[in-house]
Amino acid sequence: MISALTIPEIDVRNPEIDVRNLCVLVTAGASGIGRTIAESFVAAGAKVHVTDVVESTLAATIDAVPGLTGTIGDASRAEDVDRVVVDVSARFGGLDLLVNNAGIAGPTGRVDELTAADVDRTIDVNLKSQFYFLERFVPFLKDSKRNPSIIGMSSVAGRVGYGFRTPYSATKWAIVGLVKSLAIELGPLGVRANAILPGGVQGPRMDRVIAARAEAMGLSFEEMRNEFLRKISLRRMVEAKDVANLALFLASDLARNISGQIISVDGNTETA
Ligand SMILES: NC(=O)c1ccc[n+]([C@@H]2O[C@H](COP(=O)([O-])OP(=O)(O)OC[C@H]3O[C@@H](n4cnc5c(N)ncnc54)[C@H](O)[C@@H]3O)[C@@H](O)[C@H]2O)c1
């Protein structure tokens, strides 16, 4: 199995992130971090397929990024994920990298005030979806001869506690356990698995998170934003491109011996 994998020699004087023609699937890739990852891989010469639940966003992204293809669907619905298998099989006939990126912020509030529906939805989208994609695409990855791997999108909330966002944090810690276990299970078959833990990524989603938290804490938006930045050693938010850069590295042969790792891209967030 693993001995059958041929890993190209790396020129140590001039190491290169080479993902040309790698077959990549990014869930929830029509906007946000997923889109930036998809665009970065396309720009680097990979073949990329994305999924997304919002049809108009998906259509606009496919239009804007030459070569990108996509499947409409909810990552937390098994029937929708089945359709992704059909499309990916037709386009690639296999897969080298699965980026399990789909995730929602979930509800903000005290644990005893959350609705069961909100908690369930967060678990379905953030965690169950990853199992749906793994169940269907791990067989493809096992057959890949291109240093196959899985990236599970966790969060800084999967490394530290995150009061008032308990469903989100619980699912993001769960992804850490999932990825570490996958690395053990799939390592002997030559498939690597790593988690990326982004900090707050600059953009509308982060603004919504800050606004919701400000309301829960009785603070203004600006006060809450400053509270966020005070806890980041580098005193700045992350950009989606920072996350995509790590994904490119992890997918490449430069990372051929990196598996089971939980890697933060968060400016060193000291506490939540
Ligand atoms: N943005 C951040 O600050 C941040 C920080 C840490 C971790 N993350 C994680 O990164 C991942 C991407 O986050 P983002 O901020 O880019 O997301 P986002 O909120 O910007 O959404 C990105 C895309 O996901 C799609 N989507 C939402 N629910 C979906 C579903 N059920 N099925 C398929 N597509 C769906 C949306 O339509 C959208 O196009 C998530 O797992 C998130 O938890 C984000």
pLDDT, residue 191, reads 98
pLDDT, residue 64, reads 98
Task: Tally the C-alpha atoms within 13 A of residue 61's C-alpha that lie toward its C-beta.
Answer: 30
**Catalytic status, residue 168:** yes
pLDDT, residue 203, reads 87
- In the chain, the percentage of residues whose pLDDT exceeds 70 is 96
CB 249 within 8 A of CB 39: no
Q: How far apart are CA 86 and CA 268, in angstroms?
A: 40
CA of 5 to the centre of ligand 1 (A): 33
CB atoms within 10 A of CB 188: 9
Q: For the domain bounded by 20-201+239-264, which CATH number is listed?
A: 3.40.50.720
CB 72 within 8 A of CB 52: yes
* Residue tagged 């239009």 (tokens): 63
Q: Where are the chain's structural domains?
A: 20-201+239-264
Nearest protein CA to atom 21 of ligand 1, as residue:
32
CA of 239 to the centre of ligand 1 (A): 14
pLDDT, residue 9, reads 66
Is the distance from the beta carbon of residue 59 to the nearest atom of ligand 1 less than 6 Å? Answer: no
Which residue of the set 140, 168, 173, 228 is catalytic? 168
Q: Which of 36, 52, 127, 197 to mutate to test the pocket of ligand 1 (most atoms within 8 A of CB)?
A: 52
pTM of the entire predicted model: 0.94
**CA-based radius of gyration for the chain:** 18
CA of residue 219 relative to chain centroid, distance: 30
Q: How far apart are CA 139 and CA 147, in angstroms?
A: 14
> Please, what are the averages of pLDDT over each run of 10 residues along the chain (272 residues)?
56 82 98 97 98 98 98 98 98 98 96 98 98 98 98 98 96 98 98 98 88 92 94 95 98 97 97 82
Q: How far apart are CA 153 and CA 139, in angstroms?
A: 20
Q: Please state whether 85 falls in left (phi above 0), alpha (psi between -120 and 50) or beta.
A: alpha
DSSP string over 191-209: -EEEEEEE-PBTTHHHHHH
Q: How far apart are CA 25 and CA 140, in angstroms?
A: 11
